[in-house]
Structure 1
Amino acid sequence: MSFINEFNLLLKARYSLIFIPTVEEDRLEYTIRRCVKLGKNRAIYSWNFVDGFLNTPNNNGTGKKNPLQALEFIEKLADDTPVLFLLKDFHKFFNDIAVIRKLRNLSRILQTQPKTIVIVAPENVTIPLEIRELVTILDFDLPTIEEIRDELKRLLGILDQSISNKDLIILIRACQGLSLDRIRRVLSKIIADNGIINSEGVSRILEEKQQIINQTQILEFCTSDTTINDIGGLENLKRWLRQRSDSLSEQAQNYGLPVPRGLLLVGIQGTGKSLTAKSIANDWKLPLLRLDFGRLFAGIVGESESRVREMIRITEALAPCVLWIDEIDKSFQQSELKGDSGTTSRVLATFISWLSEKTSPVFVVATANNFQLLPLELIRKGRFDEIFFVDLPTLNEREKIFTVLLNQLRPGQINKFNISLLAQESDTFSGAEISQSITEGMFYAFNENREFTTQDILRGLKDIIPLAQIEKQKIKDLQVWVESGRIRPASVRI
């Protein structure tokens, strides 16, 4: 049910105390006035601590810097006057016993009168226990796609500018998760910078989202210029991702496609799992949020559970986005080793439940080095759309990796290197180890004041002991899962 329909239903049912958690006071007041016009015709009196009541015929300023007097004004108003009282800043007085007692008394009186008190407060405000049973919480979501589209078209009309439908969709998707005030501010910044509104302003919008993330200590906003084409190999995984590149779009929703949940990448370290997570966000033009599970755990009892709920709230508010959880297996290892009275287990259980139940466009990319530590409830179907095994690169993939890396370091000079020989000599090397061998070769040549060559890279390969030689059993265990059909190979094996 939409906010307008739900709100009008509460007014019709004479709910006396409604609590709406939001920071968008102006947009909420505008929406409430629309609600009143659609439903019963009521007067709307708003109150804030500095100005007191506003919009009243003869009582402007009543209750200025006096919340108790504001409640007394509500009580004394004529019984048959249909009024909605919008109280701002009121949560600051939830620790005042006189205010709380007055609210409890008023809630009984207003049930027989056409009056409703709406308290507006930020989302992290806790309702006092004394009035919790009397208050109805009504969520006021961030601007919808339609609201964002209307705001963009309004500004485009003012600028007398037109943009393609494709660019409009890109901008709408980038603006999702921002309040209307933030959208207006960032669009003003784009206009000041470019003179027009276009899809090139997406980077400015992502910067605005970064400001929101920086205000928390739970998530990290990541930026990357890595694309899928910068990753050598992994053709099966790349094909799967390309098929879902527009899966978070409005067209996909209208088509009836379910919102993708995400994917789990497993394999030993250095095989490109984290690089893939970064490239997905960049290719899909979505903000990338990195979650460190260690930040969710706090020393105060109950705070860890509240932090995971806060993480979910922030992530969904910034949707559509990519949520990257690096080395998720370490969190489950801590769960087994810690004697924390079940806190870790409860936090992980909350997260796993959210994975299977979420409907918001949050694409989760989790990586794991030790697949054996992951519980079955995490890897069963319904948590992630797919699980991919990122194996050691094949001969063909090693050639692509060397080609990509050397092209980045020495553009246009790839013919100076024997890529075929390097790929043959780097068997059992991961992508990260191949990159390190090139770095080692560059050091050799740099110290001799010359350009590095194929022979320098071969020397670098000899100096590195591949991790695969140590992690042979892990790789074999994962290959068994692939053969069973439970995990898909990320690479095309020849």
Structure 2
Amino acid sequence: AINTLATPDGTAVLVLQNFHRFMQSAKIVQALSRQIIAGKQNRTIVVVLSPVVQIPTELEKMFVVIEHDLPSREQLAEIARGIAVEADELPEGPELETVLDAAVGLTRMEAENAFSLSLVREDRITADAVWEIKTQTLKKSGLLSLHRGTEDFSSLGGLSALKAFCKRAMLHPSRGNPLKRPRGVLLLSPPGCGKSQFCKLLGNEVGRPVLTLEVGSLMGSLVGQSEERTRQALRVIDAMAPCVAMIDEVEKAFAGLNGNGDSGVSSRMFGQFLSWLNDHESDVFVVCTANDVSKLPPEFGRSERFDGIFFLDLPSREEKDAIWNLYLDLFEIDRDQRLPNDTNWTGAEVKACCRLSALLDVPLLQAAQNVVPVAVTSAESVERLRSWANGRCLSANEPGIYRGPGDLPKSKSRRRVSRDPSHN
């Protein structure tokens, strides 16, 4: 029918919206193939509008894929001006920039809905209302989750070198130059040493939203769906720059890199992520955490993918005292009581002891009887991770290369050769 609409002086365009759901049918694939071939002579064009790229193999060479980027800050500002038409409905200056920061990463329709809802609730466009809609939107997508807390580094004891490194890199005046933008850090440690909490606090410390990429939620049941969802999530992260992107326990997130059991899906997703880590030009600071470095391929931590690989060791005595003071105040526990033996405890175990003491209304010494440190339950794993990090990673607690406990330079000893020929 479309061929009859075309004229020698004009072109007919057939627009098929959300037609990707029907392109798995053999009859439709054959009909589209014939129409596209005939359209070259009849001046007819077929346009398929789809949120995902799902082109059958028979039609791959016939279609040109055009991806539309999410609205830029200038386009979002134009959308806001089109909705806020009354006086004082649209903020100006720094307040408008805050609103645009909140709206970055939304589609045009999502931005219109967020701005409109803000007008209904607040009689003006505000960043808080936009953030609320944005959080719900990301949650519904199932690709990313957004964290916006109010706590900063003062609520996390220790890790002074890591804190100083990240703040200096992210707040440096020259980061406006794309060549001088920070890329991110890889954090290694035994469980409970504060990796995940550090990621969440970093965003509020430097004034950026924290996006958590849940790799498991990217998995799809259809062929190619997982890879497409990965590309979509990375595009959203780029669009929301400047931001902090966190992948927690990355060695578990991309489990199955050898391709066994999932037809190589994990390997392809991991390859996409590696390429993005190396090539992305957006102002995104990536923080990956890991508990078992042996499961990570060597190419993951190479230079220019991360600015540094930090090892978060069990807290020192000074750091542990700061952590105790922090949680004693948080749970309103009497400071005069005796502290338990916290040898080889992590910050999570100190918090657990304080929480149990407040929950059960018992002294800290009694609450500590319910705490078994990870350095005891997984002693071999902790020692193996410490041994690997020794001399290979930066220390999160003090500037410089990490040196394990008791790691002293060994003096070179010369081989002693006996002068007695019978002994040699």
Does the alignment reach a TM-score above 0.5? yes
1:238 to 163, 166, 184: 163
Aligned-partner residue type, residue 491 of structure 1: N
| C-alpha distance 435-147 of structure 1, shift in aligned 2 (>3 A) | same
Deviations 1:196-230 (A, max 9, x none): 33xxx333223323333333344444554443221
Is the partner of 1:213 in helix, strand or coil? Answer: helix
Aligned-partner residue type, residue 141 of structure 1: D
- TM-score where L is the length of structure 2: 0.78
Report the counterpart of residue 281 of structure 1 in structure 2.
Answer: 203
Is the aligned partner of 1:186 residue 2:118? no
Deviations 1:117-174 (A, max 9, x none): 4725122143455554343322221111222234445666742467563333322222
Matches of 1:370 and 1:261, distance apart in 2:
22
Report the counterpart of residue 372 of structure 1 in structure 2.
Answer: 294
Is the aligned partner of 1:175 residue 2:103? yes
Matches within 5 A, 1:150-229: 150-152=78-80, 158-160=86-88, 163=91, 165-197=93-125, 201-222=126-147, 224-229=149-154
Matches of 2:174 and 2:298, distance apart in 1:
30
Is the partner of 2:106 in helix, strand or coil? Answer: coil
- How far apart are residue 188 of structure 1 and its match? 2.3
Report the counterpart of residue 13 of structure 1 in structure 2.
Answer: none
Matches of 2:164 and 2:295, distance apart in 1:
28
Matches of 2:53 and 2:260, distance apart in 1:
31
Matches of 2:198 and 2:73, distance apart in 1:
29
Is the partner of 1:265 in helix, strand or coil? Answer: strand
Matches within 5 A, 1:121-160: 121-152=49-80, 158-160=86-88
Report the counterpart of residue 279 of structure 2 in structure 1.
Answer: 357
2:189 to 259, 262, 267: 267
Is the aligned partner of 1:72 residue 2:7? no
Deviates more, 1:377-386 or 1:296-305: 296-305
Moved over 6 A (4+): none
Matches within 5 A, 1:423-438: 425-438=341-354
Aligned-partner residue type, residue 465 of structure 1: V
Report the counterpart of residue 465 of structure 1 in structure 2.
Answer: 372
Aligned-partner residue type, residue 36 of structure 2: L
Aligned-partner residue type, residue 274 of structure 1: S
5+ residue gaps, structure 2, are 400-404, 406-424
Matches of 2:381 and 2:101, distance apart in 1:
40
Matches of 2:187 and 2:158, distance apart in 1:
15
Matches of 1:184 and 1:238, distance apart in 2:
38
2:36 to 103, 111, 127: 103
- How far apart are residue 405 of structure 1 and its match? 1.9
Is the partner of 1:167 in helix, strand or coil? Answer: helix
> Is the CA contact (8 Å cut-off) linking 1:221 and 1:289 kept in structure 2?
yes
| C-alpha distance 89-342 of structure 1, shift in aligned 2 (>3 A) | closer
> Is the CA contact (8 Å cut-off) linking 2:53 and 2:228 kept in structure 1?
no
Matches of 2:380 and 2:18, distance apart in 1:
61
| C-alpha distance 283-186 of structure 1, shift in aligned 2 (>3 A) | farther
Matches of 2:138 and 2:199, distance apart in 1:
18
- How far apart are residue 343 of structure 1 and its match? 3.6
Q: State the identity %.
A: 29
Deviates more, 1:164-173 or 1:233-242: 164-173
- How far apart are residue 287 of structure 1 and its match? 4.2
Report the counterpart of residue 326 of structure 2 in structure 1.
Answer: 404
> Is the CA contact (8 Å cut-off) linking 1:90 and 1:119 kept in structure 2?
no
Is the partner of 1:189 in helix, strand or coil? Answer: helix
| C-alpha distance 243-166 of structure 1, shift in aligned 2 (>3 A) | farther
| C-alpha distance 239-346 of structure 1, shift in aligned 2 (>3 A) | same
Matches of 2:166 and 2:77, distance apart in 1:
27
Q: CA RMSD in A?
A: 3.5
5+ residue gaps, structure 1, are 1-67, 111-115, 446-451
- How far apart are residue 87 of structure 1 and its match? 3.0
Is the aligned partner of 1:488 residue 2:394? yes
